[in-house]
Structure 1
Amino acid sequence: MSITCSTCGYDGNPDNAEFCDACGAELNLSAQPQSNSTAPDSTPDSTPDSTPEIIPFTPPAPNSPPPVESQDPVFTPPAPNSPPPIESQDPVFTPPPAPGNAPPAPPSFPIRETVPPAAASSPASSPASSPAICLTAKQTNAPQIEFPVHQISLIGVFDPDSGPVDIDLESFIGGETVSRHHAEIYPEAGTWMVKDLGSTNGVFIKPQGQPRFSARITRPTPLNPGDEVAFGKVQFFVQAS
């Protein structure tokens, strides 16, 4: 016994089929055809009384997919903005200039890094580059006759707030005219210089061969052997040590 599909009329479906083998429509099992002995006359009436009922199509279950019809491959046009392939070009060979037209290249030698020698210390900042001098007191029976000067030296008097100085003139005659930080002697460019540190009574220099002291110095001034220097009223000869 076979089942006839009410959708497409296919009558080759097995009696236990749920879907039509031809169109995939669901078969109405309750409407199975009767046996051949009881089947009505297959000759249709010339005038049908009514239009057969159309059963809506129901998609098949996932476990029994309907046959898939083959589809033609979809043509995908190329992108409109795709540039055409660029053909690679061979590099252009440029021949070297003729030997007679260009001067020969100078020979290359390895470059050696030259390390400059260490710079010598500046005489202005090194006391050893300036010959030492000595301040010799002009006073008779001075508490200290000589003050050798080998480095930067501070001239003045002791003060409990600022402390001691290198050359203390407090016990000299005229020491009351010497300020706490009166002057400073220091080397510069191979010469000894004296600088007034803002003292009350000033620093004076009598260059060698001059009859009298010059006016109070207002800027650093060289001290040379044979000169005389006065800090307030306290005077010294400048001699080479």
Structure 2
Amino acid sequence: MASESTLAPRVRELPRWAGGAICAVTVLVLWSLVSVLFFSSTGIVPTPWAVLAQLGDTGVQTYWTNISVTTSSAAQGWLWGNLVAIALAVVVLLLPPLEGAANQVAVISYCIPLTAIGPIVLIVSPVGSRTTSIFLAAMSVVFTSVVGCLLGLRAADRTALDVVAAYGGSRWTALVKVRLIAALPNVFAALKLAAPAAFLGAVLGEYIGGVDTGLGIMILAAQTNLQYAQIWGLALLSGAVAGLAYLVIGLLARLLTPWSSTGERKAGL
């Protein structure tokens, strides 16, 4: 019991990055053991070192070119999807009777499988365009962003809204002067979640076809050629870029809504 009581304070004193470092080392060790003990003959699960070696053999320039293309499509889809989501949320606030229709649009965008809608978009898109990748990226973010925006816009202080109404302010005035400020923390939280979703949607759009560059095309080529190490490397790169997008939006949110990040630190989040 005494050892446990002395261990807990030491664990709490560790820096925040220590937990992530310990987790990463643990994953690498377990990954290596599984690869060597169970898949050494087939190579289906390569070791982390084999994946790193393959990344070096393929060349940084090749990966950078394809990552840039995919990121561009993801950014466009993220922008269009969030614009649609914010527009739907604003319409619901200004015209409450349309809430049912707006919610249906958001739910439909979430429920339709991307692998089903992707080929249809590919067929109707111009040959060689990246419409499918951008469209699937946009579809991936609409529902999450609509929910986050509605929660944020409805989080405004009731007293402030009553003051605007007392001075003869319209719904639009209340939206601009009160609701938008109160909504920013929730909106940025939704935008953070939308960033990785948009990137993975863009990769899926490339995987479906119609383009000749991008991480999705590299994954398809590696799968066809049974290059297991490259498949694992591309999966890790996709996750890393998606995670980086999440962190970038999070940092932007802290800069633009410092009151929200201060509250999170006080709450221990």
TM-score by length of 1: 0.17
The structure with the largest helix share of the pair is 2
The structure with the largest strand share of the pair is 1
More relative contact order, 1 or 2 (CA 8 Å, 6+ apart)? 2
Indicate the structure (1 or 2) with the bigger Cα radius of gyration: 1
